[in-house]
Structure 1
Amino acid sequence: MAPNIGWGRTADSPIGDIAYLARSEHRIPALAALAERPRSRSELCEETGVSSSTIRRTVNEFEDRRWIRKDGHQYVATPPGEAIVSVMEDAIDRVETERELRDVWHRLPDVVGELPTETWSELTVTVADPELPYRPVNRFESLLERTTTLRFVRPEVALMDPCLNRLHERVDSGVDVTLIDRPNCHLYFLTTYPERSAELLRRTNFTVLQHDDLPPYGTGLLDDRVVISCYEQDSGMAQAMIDTDVPAVRDWARSVYERYRSDARPIEPRQLVD
């Protein structure tokens, strides 16, 4: 009788195969390596960092399941083996994305939750942590290097150090920027960086607008990426950022920008400071 693995399923069931691959960290990488090209057992040892006896047992299990076949002194994945490892790698990617999103999910717009799970691998999620609090800001800075336009509703992630210097440089190089934010946010940057703010506001390719009723998250449109940023309620620090080129998210982001752009009004720096 096959051993029971829980949920009333046995080791020769589909869940049994999934459990077998998931129980040891080397098994999926080993099968993925054989899906790429033929490899010997010694190459698999080097690839996965496990002992020759462990690889020997793994290869035997893979052969029993018809996931691999022998090719001379090497092994190579069969079409069923390629299929199962592709499914497992997709599942790992989706779980990794979910783990990054789970603590900030409630701060994100509904469009993210409505995405088909197969598109999750197309989301780049950057979350701040105590040791690296500026990870989202640094990620946005890297995206800013590759765009010629920027349209951003609630752009705090673009205005935080160390990104502010890069934004200034990109405006100097001709990037066309429109930022829509709340009056109190503009007031903070105008009073904290008065000289830099005044210089930016003189640029014809730098437009700053204000709106009194913005969503709790940021929405940015770059040439080929969309950015969604969420902020801590108390500090205003960027807690996480998602960037993607999924067309459905870009359509949504464009509609968000156009909606708030139509109601936004130019800032009046002297009035804000007064």
Structure 2
Amino acid sequence: MGNANTDSPIDDIAYLTRSEHRAPALIALSVRPRSRSELWEMTGVSESTIRRTLSEFEARNWVYRDGYQYEATQMGAFVASAIAESIDRIETERQLRDVWRLLPDEETGFTIDMCSDATVTVADPEEPSRPISRFCALFEGTDRLRVTGLDVAMLDSCKTELCRRIVEGMETELINPPRVADYIRSDCPDLFSEALESGNLDLRLHDDLPPFGVGLFDDRTAIIGYDPEGVAVRVLVDTDGTDPREWAESTFTAHRRKTPTLPLENDL
């Protein structure tokens, strides 16, 4: 059996993370009992490696053996939960590492914790439209849409699908920077006139919006991150969490209360 005497908690963390199979194995055992053969098939390591790993887990009182199966103890489940949460957080951080500065800052009440369990869609050189495609997929499945900060960078690529959904019956409130009015007048006045005539669209201008967008769908909340020049959508973060929903509702309400300088429908 292995040696359970470690010098610090860091040693145990290092043990779990030094080989990629150890944390997944402990997490799996915290879900339900498993045999050695199940574990080595699941992790892709050899049977002898799993045998040594289970011995180390037993030495730390993280698992116990019951017949041919192993199961996490309460202490093992406690450790597995912490490791799983840490892995999730690091995965979120890795996705946001290059784009987090494009999201709302803490002064707005938004925190990176709100991105936990979120779907993060980042543009890349091969698929620059990934965040826009995700946004379109979200409004295809909603009956009500509210967005503040829907800038030209997003609108240009999804206007046809968006107006189609509005005409079909999706209740929509959009709060936009003034340049959106110029874009609509010059590029697609007929498209938005039809959407406005449907009675399902409230389209307004706000001349002091922050450099990000906030979208509220039936069951999801989305944050839109634009590049510093505002000409491209770099990231879309969407979640069904309660805290981001409350923050987004508050943000949208605050922006709507201050709008509009002029309802856009009167300006077309």
1:91 aligns with 2:83: no
Q: Secondary structure at the match of 1:16?
A: helix
Contact 1:155 1:180 in 2 (8 A): yes
Partner of 1:123: 118
Aligned-pair identity (%): 48
Which letter maps to 2:117? E
Q: How does 1:71-82 map to 2 (within 5 A)?
A: 71-82=66-77
User: Which residue number corresponds to residue 255 of structure 2?
Assistant: 260
**Rounded Cα–Cα distance in structure 1 between residues aligned with 2:184 and 2:47:** 61
Partners of 1:226 and 1:31 in 2: CA distance: 33
Which segment is superposed worse, 62-71 or 236-245? 236-245
Name the counterpart of 1:57.
52
Pick aligned residue for 2:30 from 11, 26, 35: 35
Q: Deviations over 1:73-100 (max 9, x none)?
A: 1211111111111100000111111222
The answer (yes or no) to whether the contact 1:108–1:230 under 8 Å persists in 2 is: yes
8 Å CA contact 1:219, 1:257 repeated in 2? yes
TM-superposed CA distance for 1:67, in Å, is 1.0
Q: Is the 8 A contact 1:137 1:238 kept in 2?
A: yes
Secondary structure of 2:33 counterpart: coil
Q: Point out where structure 1 has 5 or more consecutive residues left out of the alignment.
A: 4-9
Partner residue, 1:6: none
Partner of 1:21: 16
Does the residue aligned with 2:225 lie in a helix, a strand or coil?
Answer: strand
1:155-183 per-residue CA deviation (whole Å, 9 max, x = no partner) reads 1375242x333322321221111111122
Whole-Å Cα distance in 2 between the matches of residues 136 and 113 of structure 1?
A: 23
Question: 1:223/1:268 Cα in 2 relative to 1: closer, same or farther (>3 Å)?
Answer: closer
> How far has the Cα of 1:36 moved from its partner?
1.9
Paired residues of 1:11 and 1:17 also in contact (CA < 8 A): yes
Q: Does 1:226 align with 2:221?
A: yes
Tell me how large the CA RMSD over aligned residues is: 2.4
Matched positions, count = 261
Match of residue 159 from structure 1: 155
User: Where does residue 171 of structure 2 map in the other structure?
Assistant: 176
How far the C-alpha of 1:127 sits from its partner, in A, is: 1.4
Question: 1:47 maps to what in 2?
Answer: 42
Query: Higher relative contact order by CA 8 Å / sep ≥ 6: 1 or 2?
Result: 2
Give the gaps of 5 or more residues in structure 2.
none
Residue equivalent to 1:250: 245
Distance of 2:205 and 2:93 partners within structure 1 = 34
Q: Distance in 2 between matches of 1:105 and 1:15?
A: 28
CA offsets per residue over residues 242-265 of structure 1, 9 Å max, x none? 222333333332232223223212
Larger deviation: 165-174 or 146-155? 165-174
Q: Does the aligned pair in 2 maintain the 1:137–1:160 contact within 8 Å?
A: no
Mapped partners of 2:56, 2:109: distance in 1 = 38
Deviations 1:186-237 (A, max 9, x none): 3224422343233223221112111222110011222232221111133521
**Paired amino acid for 1:65:** R
Offset, 1:107: 2.2
C-alpha contact 1:141 1:158 (8 A) present in aligned 2: no
